A and B are shown apart, each in its own frame.
Chain A
Amino acid sequence: MTPYWDDVLAALARYPARPEIEALPLRSTAFATLYGVRLTSLGPYRLFGYLSIPAGAGPFPAIYYPPKYQSVLEIIPQGTANLQRSRYVTFSLAGRGQRNADTPYSAMFPGLLTEGLDDPASYVFRSIAADSVRGLEFLLARREVDRRRVVVAGNDIALMTAALTPGATHVVATPALFYRTAELAPKTHAYPLEEINDYLHLHPARADAVRRTLAHYDLLGFAPRVTSATLLMAGAPGTLLDGSALRPLATALRGPASVYESQQSLYKDGLHSERWMAEQCGITDVQSILPQAWQDATHF
């Protein structure tokens, strides 16, 4: 990577993860056991994640959900059938500042995107990217995980993680934060990119510093190091991050990439990514682990 990211990874390596794993009976079922996981990241900072292990003999394919851009940490994304946990090991991680990892630092949403933005060394996403790498390292160390089938599914952090550390065989990424940010933010009033506009409106003299920081985070810089098969989830046609906007990113990825353009339906979009992950992981009966309302799937 670049010296900036080499430094981050070297700093992270100085802190052993020291995981603590505790079963959570309330969220465990006949088909999967849920664990709360605490582990150390850069800082040092103690993180939290939810690890779900299917019943039965593994190893199993795995889905890693790296830190999202929200305060809440989900076990699996809202709307996903709980039965997903019967077929995949899942691990969702709260980056620093999110709930369950908000001591001593509690992030604000909106607010996180510009925390320390005028200095690459202090920008909060430097540490959050490290958190995400630490999470993937932890997951890959689990004996229940089939390392030939490890999906990282999330926003920009998913793609960054796959670039920064080996082990992701597949990526499902929905860019929202770090793709041509300095160029695209002024074209929207929608959060989270509006946070950049707010920040520069109040601190116009910091514009160059912000651009310098964001340059370290642009997904185009990470893409040549991503060898995983990647599904890019684009916005609907005509939106800021639609398929044509993401085409250069898809081209820059080193591994095979496909771009799915949103149909502005969480049902159709969600079904596409669920099927893609299942197909990539060799799960032939994906129908059985879809939400009930999607199992008819008469729209395809």
Chain B
Amino acid sequence: MVNDRAEKYRSRVRKPDDFDAFWDHVLRQAAAIPLEAEVVPDPLRTSEDVEVFQVFYTSIDHVRVAAWYCRPARRAERTPAVMLLPGYQMDPPIPKEWARKGYVALSVAPRGKLRSNRQFNPGYPNLLTHNIVDRHTYAYRGFYVDTWRGIDFLLSRPEVESTRIGVTGSSQGGGLTITTAAMRPEVRAASAGAPYLCGFADAIEITHTYPYEEINDYLRLYPERRADVEATIAYFDGINFADRISCPIIVNIGLQDNVCPPETGYTLFERIGAADKRLYPYDGHGHDAGRARHSGIADDFFARHLLGREVRP
């Protein structure tokens, strides 16, 4: 049964008037900080077919961010790249399987994640509400920039084909895919699964599961801060970034998603500015967003847009 209620949902998310000015200022602040990238070979994780490196670079507030970087041992001089963005609670994976598909792959650990938590470590649960009353210091200000700086890292690499960069992730990784595709025009293809951080204000009313429940916990203890919280999250809502996306994009959602409600996925998709966009709603699926059925579609999508291969009709 298709979830009609979700499709017809009317979102509460509104874009602040100075949204673009806020983020343009953040981008200028970030651009003033040198990347200072380190690329350290990891012999333990390297195999005959995939070279693995630990990467570190500097992001806004001078926070050092870690990432895993994989590349096919046999590759063209310049190779298409995919950046993978992590879920809220997951530890960023080593993206060997993307290298095996023929991409250079970067898996970012934004601030607070394992290996990127020496200077910033609000913990889990807590990240979602860390400084949530102040958009200038809210946890996701730096967290978002950390992922965008991953694109700068890829552009700095001589082996990366800079006109063929894709972004993907699921859950928080899906939300970060939206914000990255919106803010970095170098992204040429994006695939977002079960996007989190999209429709904060809607999600905390629709669902009572973590991580969104962190905000309900916070407002229960500090009800007088609701206006400040709502003001902040509007600047970080992926739905408000979506009209800036111009690259081809696919979005998959689960119609029984108990973490990121499908209502928010439909709203997000409607707001995406790209002409080449497609939504895949999976009935009978939860926060997996139909991953097992969808992975082949995502592979074909990136192969078409980044590798230049025509695949299954």
Contacts and interface: CB of A to CB of B under 8 A. Distances in A.
A204 interface: no
B152 to A, nearest CB: 26
A199 B44 contact: yes
B288 A265 contact: yes
A191 B93 contact: yes
A141 interface: no
A187 interface: no
A110 B94 contact: yes
Interface string A147-158: 000000000000
B217 A70 contact: no
A201 interface: yes
A259 to B, nearest CB: 19
Interface stretch (B130-138, B142-150, B253-261): B253-261
A74 interface: yes
Contacts of A265: 254, 256, 284-286, 288, 290
A2 interface: no
B123 A99 contact: yes
Interface string B160-189: 000000000000000000000000000000
Interface in A232-287: 236, 264-268, 270
Given A26-B217, A79-B258, A267 B286 contact: yes
Contacts of B218: 26
Interface string B289-305: 01111000000000000
A105 to B, nearest CB: 13
A293 B257 contact: yes
Contact of B91 (A71, A236, A293): A71
Contacts, number: 127
B45 A198 contact: yes
A109 B114 contact: yes
A78 B96 contact: no
Nearest to A82: B208
A25 interface: yes
Given A25-B221, A201-B47, A78 B254 contact: no
B287 A79 contact: yes
B223 interface: no
B210 interface: yes
**Chain A interface main SS type:** loop
A266 B285 contact: yes
Interface in A19-45: 25-27, 29
Contacts of A201: 47
Contacts of B39: none
Interface string B6-38: 000000000000000000000000000000000
Given A26-B218, A29-B220, A293-B207, A108 B284 contact: no
B258 to A, nearest CB: 3
A81 interface: yes
A198 B44 contact: yes
Contact of A293 (B44, B97, B125, B286): B286
A186 to B, nearest CB: 12
Contacts of B91: 70-72, 109-110
A270 B208 contact: no
Nearest to A201: B47
Given A236-B292, A264-B292, A294 B258 contact: yes
A250 to B, nearest CB: 23
A72 B288 contact: no
B213 interface: yes
| Centre residue among A268, A291, A292, A299 by max chain B CB count within 10 A | A291
A180 B277 CA distance: 44
A27 to B, nearest CB: 6
A78 B285 contact: no
Contacts of B94: 110, 191
A25 B90 CA distance: 26
A165 interface: no
Contacts of A190: 97
Contact of B288 (A70, A191, A264): A264
B44 A202 contact: yes
A72 B292 CA distance: 25
B231 interface: no
A202 B43 contact: yes
B287 to A, nearest CB: 5
B211 interface: yes
Nearest to A69: B91
Contacts of B293: 264
A229 interface: no
B15 to A, nearest CB: 26
A79 B209 contact: yes
Interface in A67-117: 70-76, 78-83, 99-100, 108-110
Contacts of A27: 125, 217
Interface in B266-287: 283-287
The 3 closest A-B pairs by CB, nearest first: A267-B286, A291-B258, A264-B292
Interface of A: 25-27, 29, 70-76, 78-83, 99-100, 108-110, 189-191, 194, 197-199, 201-202, 236, 264-268, 270, 291-294, 296, 298-299
9 contacts: A26-B218, A78-B89, A78-B210, A82-B210, A201-B47, A264-B291, A265-B286, A267-B257, A299-B283
Given A70-B91, A78-B259, 10 more contacts: A27-B217, A74-B125, A80-B210, A82-B208, A109-B114, A191-B93, A191-B94, A198-B47, A267-B288, A268-B284
